Amino acid sequence: SNSKKAYNLSIEQTDRIFKLLDTNKVLDCKSALIVVDMQNDFIEGSLAVRNCPAHEDGSAIIPTINRLLESVPFDAVVYTADWHPADHCSFVDNVQLREIHETSKIKADNAQVMDTVVFARPDKFEQKLWPAHCVQDSHGAELHPDLKVVKDHILIRKGLDPDVDSYSAFWDNMKKSSTPLVSELAKRHITDVYICGIATDVCVEFTSMDAIEHGFRTVLIEDACCGVSEEGIKETKTKLKKAGAILVQSAEVPDLV
Ligand code: VGL
Ligand code: ZN
């Protein structure tokens, strides 16, 4: 419901404000860049994404993100990080650790990466399986060394609970708990969020949808994102546009902020 939102803007209002913004900056906007999961494992490690601008690996978007950080006067910069315990429910090698629900088509002995299993506990829930990645304090969980890390940034770690995944940097996948992200943004009077990083069709999508739900004007920087599958990226873009996000190229951002 609206009362839960940090900013009580409907999609229609958001739309109208975007149009106003295009012609003249009548509103007092404050902008944050959210850099999603630019960690070694997603770039060159166990869960390296491959659907990137110019068909390169995830490192292809690092210069684009660094350029944004250097040339655009964002009011806040957020880095998010997947930060899983070794027994996390999303790791394919951990299916044996948990009770699988009787309705699950995938059983423990045939479970593969990208399969969706149904676990029985703590409550029945569906979980897509991934290779082990971004284990707390491992090299794979560190931000890529070439990524610029600005002073006074906000770091949001997610996926710490072994029993629930967290694609979004706002809420876990079951909305059992939230990270400090919305309060950190609200504290700085942020109205607009610009989102980039990895993976377009997983954590970037979920973070963007939750940003919209919180009432932030939400801008996806297309060429500063990298995804898992081409089909998934297409679906993400359609879904985000429908929900009220605007999609831009990184070259357009300096004029918008
Ligand atoms: C992600 C799969 C599993 C992501 C995180 O950062 O997009 N994808 N965990
Ligand atoms: Zn993860």
Q: Report, as an integer, the average pLDDT of 23-29.
A: 60
Provide ipTM, 2 decimals: 0.98
Average pLDDT over residues 179-186: 95
Active site residue 203: yes
Phi and psi (nearest 5°) for 52? -125, 165
Q: Tell me: the pLDDT tens digits for 112-131?
A: 999 999 999 999 999 999 99
List the strands of the sheet with 192-198, edge to edge: 154-158, 76-82, 31-36, 192-198, 217-226, 246-248
**5 an active-site residue?**
no
Catalytic residue among 158, 163, 192, 210: 158
Question: What pTM was computed for the model?
Answer: 0.91
Q: Among residues 52, 134, 203, 225, which one is catalytic?
A: 203
**Active site residue: 37, 82, 172, 210, which one?**
37
Within 6 A (CB) of ligand 1 lie 37, 42, 82, 90, 130, 198-199, 202-203
Ligand nearest to the CA of 164: 2
For ligand 1, the distance from its centroid to the CA atom of residue 111, given in whole angstroms, is 18
Ligand 1 atom nearest residue 167's Cα: 5
Q: Which residues of 82-108 are buried (b: 16+ CB within 10 A; e: fewer)?
A: bbbeeebbbbbebbeebebeeebebee
Which ligand is nearest the CA of 236, by number?
Answer: 1
* Average pLDDT along the chain: 91
Decide if 29 is catalytic: no
Tell whether the model's pLDDT for residue 20 goes beyond 70. Answer: no
* pLDDT for 200 beyond 90: yes
Phi, psi angles (nearest 5°) of residue 192: -120, 135
* pLDDT reported for residue 17: 58
